[in-house]
């Protein structure tokens, strides 16, 4: 049974990197992992009340995952009128630290989000199929309503009249938005766009996603100037737009004075640490196997000592992305050892050595 589980994990890419929309299906709520309702519960409450939120944690600790889980299409408890709009930041150029460019980026994202032909029919069918598949595998029903990362044209038919009306309102003036953002009033244009959404009885909630990836990796050498420009824009956004928003803040950026100052205007939601790493990681890995349809459970693939060792990998920085990568690599290593029925400490050590070698 066991070797079979390892083969299945590899073949189904159960532990590998997934599409953005898979994040929420794979998410194990922190509120279950640590108890209480300080993470998903709190984020949901803040989103519903139009809060300004910073989800804080080092890279790989689950900031994107938690936002997707709370505001995505499988998330229970999102009211019908709430419109989470994802503004991906990983795609933008350095220039976006200019205040006008920042607002323009958001306006364009909203217009694209509302465009009837975005995504294309083929992309749309593929996306629909992936979502339906995830909903089935994760046994979480798809919620009919607005959700993070769902283009307006894909919001359920139940809201057809409303979404068509909103798309028309936004598109009707789309030439005008472009002119206005270029004519030097991007923030006013964005504020008016918010009012257009409200005109339909809806409330937008902006999620600036992957800000940490953008700030961290792309222009690392200019980090301080970029962080300063970025947080100045977030401050402007708070003053100019009277609506809720969430962003991800990499913990180390809180050390920058500009970020610390802006953070005072935000509700900080710090991601917790797993209280019992081997047990918590077993649940997170188990969820992955379950959603991928791998028969058996974590115990059929990972020896307890391997989970302990993964707990140590986690312990260093709480980096779940790293833990998953090492676990995946270790499955590959175990498969190369014909005598191994489970991922044990040797496979895990080999996987870690490989990673250290790659990074070194
Ligand atoms: N609570 C969780 N349950 C299950 N998987 C998680 C959880 N949090 C994070 N992950 C996984 O860890 C990886 C990194 O998470 P991500 O949200 O991208 O981190 P960040 O945005 O903080 O860099 C992803 O593969 C994600 O699926
Ligand atoms: Mg992220």
Q: Tell me: the pLDDT tens digits for 222-268?
A: 777 888 888 888 999 999 998 999 999 888 888 888 888 888 899 99
- Of all protein residues, the one whose alpha carbon is nearest to atom 15 of ligand 1 is 62
**Ligand 1 near 64 CB (within 6 A):** yes
The residue among 75, 249, 62 whose CA lies nearest residue 146 is 75
Q: Do the strands 244-249 and 52-56 form a parallel or antiparallel pair, or are they unpaired?
A: parallel
What's residue 319's pLDDT? 95
Q: Tell me: the pLDDT tens digits for 286-327?
A: 999 999 999 989 999 999 999 999 999 999 789 999 999 999
Nearest-angstrom CA–CA distance, 36 and 21? 26
Query: Which whole number is the average pLDDT over 2-14?
Result: 90
Query: Which of ligand 1's atoms lies nearest the C-alpha of 59?
Result: 23
Ligand 2 centroid from CA 208, angstroms: 10
- Answer for the pair 74, 142: CB distance below 8 angstroms, yes or no: yes
Q: Where are the domains of the chain?
A: 2-11+275-359, 39-270
- Answer for the pair 85, 170: CB distance below 8 angstroms, yes or no: no
Residue 215 has pLDDT above 70, yes or no: no
Q: Where are the alpha helices (DSSP H) in the chain?
A: 2-11, 23-26, 30-33, 40-48, 63-71, 99-114, 121-138, 160-172, 174-182, 186-199, 211-213, 223-240, 257-263, 277-292, 304-317, 320-336, 345-359
**CATH code of the domain occupying 39-270:** 3.40.50
Query: Which whole number is the average pLDDT over 269-290?
Result: 97
Which of 138-142, 154-158, 318-322 bottoms out in mean pLDDT, i.e. has the lowest?
154-158
Q: Is the pTM of this model over 0.85?
A: yes
- Of all protein residues, the one whose alpha carbon is nearest to atom 4 of ligand 1 is 27
**Ligand 1 near 250 CB (within 6 A):** no
**Ligand 1 near 262 CB (within 6 A):** no
Ligand 2 centroid from CA 271, angstroms: 12
What's residue 66's pLDDT? 96
Query: Which of ligand 1's atoms lies nearest the C-alpha of 65?
Result: 17
What's residue 159's pLDDT? 84
Query: Which whole number is the average pLDDT over 52-58?
Result: 94
Determine the residue of 34, 208, 320 to mutate for testing ligand 1's pocket, defined as the one with the most ligand atoms within 8 A of the Cβ atom: 320
């Amino acid at each position: 049974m066991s070797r079979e589980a390892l083969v299945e994990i590899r073949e189904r890419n159960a532990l590998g990197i997934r599409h953005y929309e898979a994040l929420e299906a794979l998410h194990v709520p922190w509120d279950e992992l640590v108890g209480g309702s300080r993470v998903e519960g709190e984020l949901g409450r803040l989103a519903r009340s139009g809060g300004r939120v910073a989800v804080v944690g080092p890279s790989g600790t689950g900031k994107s995952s938690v936002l997707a889980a709370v505001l995505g299409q499988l998330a229970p408890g999102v009211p019908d009128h709430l419109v989470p709009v994802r503004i991906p930041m990983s795609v933008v150029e350095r220039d976006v630290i200019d205040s006008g460019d920042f607002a323009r980026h958001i306006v364009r994202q909203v217009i694209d989000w509302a465009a009837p032909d975005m995504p294309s029919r083929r992309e749309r069918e593929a996306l629909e199929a992936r979502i339906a598949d995830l909903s089935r595998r994760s046994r979480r029903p798809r919620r009919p309503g607005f959700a993070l990362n769902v283009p307006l044209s894909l919001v359920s038919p139940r809201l057809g009249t409303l979404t068509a009306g909103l798309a028309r309102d936004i598109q009707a003036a789309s030439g005008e938005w472009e002119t206005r953002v270029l004519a030097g009033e991007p923030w006013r244009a964005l504020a008016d766009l918010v009012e257009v959404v409200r005109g339909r009885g809806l409330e937008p909630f902006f999620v600036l996603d992957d800000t940490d990836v953008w700030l961290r990796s792309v222009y690392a050498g200019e980090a301080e100037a970029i962080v300063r420009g970025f947080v100045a824009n977030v401050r402007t956004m708070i003053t100019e737009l009277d609506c809720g928003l969430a962003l991800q803040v990499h913990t180390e950026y809180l050390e920058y004075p500009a970020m610390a100052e802006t953070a005072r205007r935000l509700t900080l939601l710090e991601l917790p640490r797993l209280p019992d790493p081997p047990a918590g990681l077993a649940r997170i890995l188990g969820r992955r196997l379950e959603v991928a349809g791998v028969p058996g459970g974590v115990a059929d693939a990972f020896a307890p000592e391997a989970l302990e060792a993964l707990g140590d990998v986690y312990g260093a920085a709480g980096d779940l992305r790293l833990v998953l990568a090492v676990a995946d690599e270790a499955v590959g290593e175990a498969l190369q050892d014909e005598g191994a029925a489970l991922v044990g400490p040797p496979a895990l050590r080999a996987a870690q050595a490989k990673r250290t070698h790659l990074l070194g």
